[in-house]
Amino acid sequence: MATAAKIDPMHQFMIAPLGSDQLAATPFQFTNSALWMLVVLGVIVVFMWGGLKRQLVPGRWQASVEVLTGFVDNITRESIGPAGRKYLPWVFTAFVFILISNWVGAMPFAIVPGAHPFTVTSQFSVTWTMSVISFLIVLAVGFWKHGLHFFSLFVPKGAPLPIKIFIAPIEFVSFMVRPFSLGLRPFVAMFAGHILLDVFGNFIVQGLNAGSAMGGFIAALCFVFIVMMSALELLIGAIQAYVFALLTAIYINDAENLH
């Protein structure tokens, strides 16, 4: 019979120094968030290193890296045009970081004693920082290439003056909200998904502790749901990385071409 356990769905999102649950009054601490960022970075470096062999007949590893690079390159080219190639480094970096962070956070590392996985993209400070970088690139491109004419992005072409006066503030507010909404999507997806997994994990424990046939049935049902939800988390993690990269490219296209 399973032993009684109390599951706190919010505990997995707490940032704490390694070996402690409390943050001291100093910014110079190595936290669980920093550790898992290094894990994500290590996975990315190893994965990309496998694609640098440049064999005439690529193996599966090299082919995977080339397919991924080509996929993101297509996003920038189709969204921005011929000029999209110069923005590929950032769009590709954002896509791969969010993708690997989401997938690493969904791995069942907790089955190993002492291993407590941490999904860095479940922290809004991380996704918001990435969205701010994208937004700053948009501003830099817009003002560098168009100067003050960049503000024409907020004014619909060919519309009567009264409509322009009404629409321009709405477009400006919508533009300024972009960094918030861009970072909010991956954060909410990972945050909600992980809470849901913990809640149903708690149902499994309670069902087993009930010691009845109905409790066992509910525990088994919740276990099946968690397996299916874990697979869905991998799909959602990929979709969120794609959406972030696509919207970043679209926003850069607005600044590049004033669409």
One-letter amino acid for residue 17 of the chain: P
116: left (phi over 0), alpha (psi -120 to 50) or beta: beta
Q: Is the pLDDT of residue 158 over 90?
A: no
**pLDDT tens digits for range 24-49:** 556 677 788 888 899 999 999 998 88
Which pLDDT score, from 0 to 100, does residue 1 have? 41
Q: How high is the mean pLDDT of the chain? A: 84
CA distance 19 to 4: 24
Task: Indicate if the pLDDT at residue 5 is higher than 60.
Answer: no
What's the chain's Rg over C-alpha atoms?
Answer: 23
Q: What is the pLDDT of residue 9?
A: 64
Please give the Cα distance from 247 to 43 (Å, whole number): 25
Residue 132, pLDDT > 80, answer yes
Of 113-117, 122-126, 158-162, 173-177, the poorest mean pLDDT is in 113-117
Which pTM does this prediction carry?
Answer: 0.85
The predicted pLDDT at position 11 comes to: 67
Q: How far apart are CA 115 and CA 42, in angstroms?
A: 17
- The pLDDT score that the predictor gives to residue 27 is 65
Residue the block writes with tokens 């809640």: 199
pLDDT tens sequence across 182-212:
999 999 888 888 888 888 878 887 888 877 8
Instruction: Pull the structure tokens for residue 65.
Output: 């890296």
Handedness of CA 192, 136, 44, 126 (dihedral sign): negative
pLDDT at residue 3 greater than cutoff 50? no
Q: What is the dihedral of CA 44, 56, 72, 90, to 10 degrees?
A: 60
